[in-house]
Structure 1
Amino acid sequence: MIAPPYLKKGDTIAIVATARKNIEDNLQPAISWLKNWGLEVVIGSTIGLDKNQLAGTDEQRAADFQTQLDNPNIKAIWCVRGGYGTVRMLDLLDFTKFKQSPKWIVGFSDVTVLHSHLNTMGYQSIHGIMPVSSKATEDAKESLRKSLFGESLKYTVPCDQMNRYGKASGVLVGGNLSILYSLFGSPSAIDCTDKILFIEDLDEYLYHIDRMMMNLKRNGCLESLKGIIVGGMTKMKDNDIPWGKNALEIIDDVTKTYKIPIIYNFPAGHLADNHALILGRKISLEANDLESTIVFE
């Protein structure tokens, strides 16, 4: 997988909206982070646009993103927030100039659309906090900075009681489970073969989690994986008649026949402690009875 050039002080990063609108005056904290890191900031034309839930029309969001893709002075594009809508503009984009001069695409949640599409093209991207992540921990911010500047990235977290022990290495893919599920069958679907899969989600019914995991199982994704990292399964919902398992228990049940290491409750996803993950990068993973370690190679 191709890694775009890492950032250096003086480089410029663009903040754009690819999905839900951002009409509040809420970007100053994130701009301050970037300035403290020695970066310059460009605010995209979609920031402030308001079309119902979305940041302008599909064409407006695509045009703004395209402008930043094609501008050689922009070294990274930081998506302002998730929600829904990135997939609506995806097919309006032309990645010709991006391929000539790749740059980092950063975000999570609905931005999984872009991560998955870039993965099929053979490019790495960064799953991490977004400009509106005002409650992000200092560790989460620092992990994004390290990812952008190409510094060593390694995570060690305490062992979770649900973990399945073992070692694995492979290219990291994934993101938001609902988005991954929605992309299967499309040209932007990830290839799970020999990969390590990261999944997280927010505000889903528990039976939906089961439905999506069964889809991954039946389409052959799970059986071809080398390992799984489960991030935050946040604010899950149940029906009046309970499903009977929580989100992690659902994942455990669907994956129980696969002899691969699985890390549960990794600090990434819709959490304040949302650690950056370089998707498309080869990692080494180890889970034992003391701790879990992820090393980006």
Structure 2
Amino acid sequence: MITPNTLQKGDTIAIVSTARKLKKKELQPALKILESWGLKAVLGKTIGAEENQFAGNEKLRAEDFQQMLDNPYIKAIWCARGGYGTVKMIDMLDFSAFQKNPKWIIGYSDVTVLHSYIHNLGIETLHAQMCLDIENKTEAARESIRKVLFEQEYSIAFNVNTYNKTFQQKQQLSSIQGKIVGGNLSVLYSLCGSNSAINTDGKILFIEDLDEYLYHIDRMMMNLKRNGMLANLKALIIGGMTDMHDNAIPFGKNAEEIILEAVKDYNFPVYFNFPAGHIKDNQAMIFGREVKLNSENDKVILNF
């Protein structure tokens, strides 16, 4: 995998929206953070643009992103927000110049479309908090973005929980190595069968989701299983499964139990409680990077 270039103070980051609309004033906290890091910001034409719920139509969103991809003075692209819409413009993009001069693409949730597509080009991307609401995330979440952009030493430590221990009693695995991939479960599910779907074979898969019904989680996990995406993982990591819903007639299992049931026939470890996703402590992950996962007592440490 190719690692995008390290940023230097004085470099310029582009902020665009590939999905839902937002106003320029909503970006003020993110702009102040970039300034504190010694970086400059350029706002794309999609910031403040509006077509129904989107930041302009697909043509505008694609042209805006394309311009930032092709501009050699732009050293990274930070997606302003998620929602839905990246998949509607992905096939309009030309990554030829980007492949010759890779830059960090930053975001999560709906930006999983870009992570998956670019992973298939052999280039690392940064799964991390978008601009919107970054002021309400933890300092660790904000610092994790800066550390990756400036190529500083970086790892994530998190606590195990009872679901981890229950599933891993028969495995006793303390160290795992592999490329980390994944993102939002709903988006990964929607990409199955397309040229943006990722090959998870022999890799560490990360998933998270927001505002889904429990039976939808089951449906999506079964889809990944039937597509062979769970069969040969090195490990499965689960971030925030946030604001899950149930029907009047209960599904009977929570999100953790649904996931464990989907992978019960496979012999790889499963780690819950990872600090990433639609949660306050949304720490950055370098997708496509060969990482090491160590289990030590009541902690799990992901080393990039």
TM-score in terms of structure 1 length: 0.98
The structure-2 alpha-carbon separation of the partners of 1:288 and 1:245, relative to structure 1 and needing over 3 Å to count, comes to farther
1 CA distance for matches of 2:203 and 2:256? 20
Residues 261 and 287, structure 1, Cα contact 8 Å, conserved in 2: no
1 CA distance for matches of 2:297 and 2:241? 22
Equivalent residue number for residue 286 of structure 1: 294
Residues 116 and 196, structure 2, Cα contact 8 Å, conserved in 1: yes
Unmatched 5+ residue regions in structure 1?
A: none
Equivalent residue number for residue 56 of structure 1: 56
Unmatched 5+ residue regions in structure 2?
A: none
Give every structure 1 segment of 4 or more consecutive aligned residues whose post-TM-superposition deviation is greater than 4 Å: none
Which residue identity does 2:232 align to in structure 1? S
RMSD, aligned α-carbons = 1.0
Equivalent residue number for residue 171 of structure 1: 179
Alignment of 1:85-104 (within 5 A): 85-104=85-104
The structure-2 alpha-carbon separation of the partners of 1:106 and 1:289, relative to structure 1 and needing over 3 Å to count, comes to same
Equivalent residue number for residue 255 of structure 2: 247
Asked if residue 266 in structure 1 is aligned to residue 274 in structure 2, the reply is yes
Residues 18 and 61, structure 1, Cα contact 8 Å, conserved in 2: yes
Equivalent residue number for residue 205 of structure 2: 197
2 CA distance for matches of 1:261 and 1:288? 14
Alignment of 1:167-246 (within 5 A): 167-246=175-254
Asked if residue 125 in structure 1 is aligned to residue 121 in structure 2, the reply is no
Equivalent residue number for residue 40 of structure 1: 40
Shift of 1:255: 1.1
Residues 113 and 179, structure 1, Cα contact 8 Å, conserved in 2: yes
Residues 10 and 38, structure 2, Cα contact 8 Å, conserved in 1: yes
CA shift digits 1:77-103 (9 cap, x unpaired): 000000000000001101111011110
Shift of 1:24: 5.6
Shift of 1:202: 0.2
More displaced 10-residue stretch of structure 1: 158-167 or 267-276: 158-167
**1:25 aligns to what SS in structure 2?**
helix
2 CA distance for matches of 1:258 and 1:160? 20
Which residue identity does 1:74 align to in structure 2? I
Shift of 1:224: 1.3
2 CA distance for matches of 1:9 and 1:251? 43
Report sequence identity in percent.
56
Asked if residue 26 in structure 1 is aligned to residue 34 in structure 2, the reply is no
2 CA distance for matches of 1:286 and 1:161? 17
Aligned residues: 296
More displaced 10-residue stretch of structure 1: 23-32 or 79-88: 23-32
More displaced 10-residue stretch of structure 1: 255-264 or 70-79: 255-264
2 CA distance for matches of 1:62 and 1:24? 19
Residues 203 and 234, structure 1, Cα contact 8 Å, conserved in 2: yes
Equivalent residue number for residue 156 of structure 2: 155
Shift of 1:286: 2.3
